Amino acid sequence: MSKPVNIVVMLGGAGSERAVSLRSGAGVAAALRSLGHGVTELDPQQGCFELPVSTDVVFLALHGSYGEDGTVQGQLDKIGVPYTGSDATASRLAFDKVLTKQQCVLAGVPTAKFTVVDSETTPWPMGWQPPVVVKPVRQGSSVGLQFVDRVADWTEALREAFRHDSQLLVEERILGRETTVGILDGTILPVVEVRPKSGQFDYRNKYTPGNTEYFCPAQMDAAMTARIQEAALGAFRAVGGRDYARVDVMVRSSGEPVVLEVNTLPGMTPTSLLPLAAAAAGINYETLCQRMVDLALGRKPFNQ
């Protein structure tokens, strides 16, 4: 067992994913305390914070803006305190869905056809056919996600999505199997298949208990599993990811994987999908949290 250290778990924050972050942080804090660590929970609601002088490492259980977009990572880099997950640059890239898509295209990672919308008055994109998906460029947890099945629904979808960001990503909607892939310290975890019982995997179905079924390992052959995992790892590398992440991948009926996005600080509630995938690989929740801390501590300068 690793020796006890002083860990600050950052949770909550002021973003739209505050409620989920509070649950992630509570789970992580309880797990780390059970391992004998000194744990302080810190909620940086105003975008500023002061760490206890004894802090050895920060565990980032924040989601969404501030926590996942590189801001807090940059602040921690300035004061020289190690933290879990990707660095500021990779966090900023991965949080921006357009930048992620561009990096995937450059790296040859399969991703869906897309365009960018900057105004509520933008007309239906020429040459496109429904269905499409409209997403705020810089949000997570399916916040503001809109499914457009008819051109007549376009204007209302833009109006709703623009409530959450000043720029929108429009993607072809991939009709197929929905999967997500966890990555931990260079290891690709078993694929999770996501099956909403009705409708789409939107915010409501994601966070309402019983609305969605999860299968891990996903029921698919070894060749398809390998293609999905390769695409996920390719996207993780394309944004410069570090330590761990969860990559969402759709699978066309032809079996072709299509990367949707990279989540650099995925949910860490005990029922979240990264812990689920880790459990399928024989890594329990407490061990997963410890591994994340150990990876961050490995970057701590020797003179600290």
Give CA–CA dist 106/239, Å, rounded: 11
pTM of the model: 0.91
Provide the CATH number for the domain around residue 166.
Answer: 3.30.1490.20
Query: Would 167 be classed as within a structural domain?
Result: yes
Q: Do residues 222 and 196 touch, judged by C-beta distance below 8 A?
A: no
E strands present in 4-129: 6-10, 38-42, 57-60, 114-117
Give CA–CA dist 134/265, Å, rounded: 22
Give CA–CA dist 247/40, Å, rounded: 29
Confidence of residue 45 (pLDDT cuts 50, 70, 90): confident
Domain boundary among 154, 172, 190: 172
Q: Residue 41: is its pLDDT beyond 50?
A: yes
pLDDT tens digits for range 164-175: 999 999 999 998
Active site (annotated) includes residue 141: yes
Q: Residue 267: is its pLDDT beyond 90?
A: yes
Total Cβ atoms within 10 A of residue 221: 8
Q: Residue 97: is its pLDDT beyond 70?
A: yes
Query: Chain-wide mean pLDDT for the chain?
Result: 91
Confidence of residue 124 (pLDDT cuts 50, 70, 90): very high
Please state the rounded mean pLDDT for residues 259-274. Answer: 92
Query: Would 304 be classed as within a structural domain?
Result: no
**Residues 6 or more apart from 263 whose CB is under 8 A from it?**
68, 94, 140, 245, 246, 247, 248
Q: Do residues 90 and 77 touch, judged by C-beta distance below 8 A?
A: no
Please state the rounded mean pLDDT for residues 197-211. Answer: 56
- Its domain, for residue 240, covers 93-111+175-264
**Residues 6 or more apart from 121 whose CB is under 8 A from it?**
none
Active site (annotated) includes residue 261: yes
Provide the CATH number for the domain around residue 30.
Answer: 3.40.50.20
Active site (annotated) includes residue 263: yes
SS3 176: strand
Catalytic site residue from 203, 207, 252, 294: 207
Catalytic site residue from 56, 140, 248, 285: 248
Active site (annotated) includes residue 248: yes
Q: Residue 304: is its pLDDT beyond 50?
A: no
Count of structural domains, the chain: 3
Provide the CATH number for the domain around residue 246.
Answer: 3.30.470.20
Q: Are residues 106 and 191 in the same domain?
A: yes
pLDDT tens digits for range 206-254: 555 666 899 999 999 999 999 999 999 999 999 999 999 999 999 999 9
Active site (annotated) includes residue 2: no
Catalytic site residue from 27, 64, 85, 267: 267
Q: Are residues 106 and 196 in the same domain?
A: yes
pLDDT at position 205, please? 47
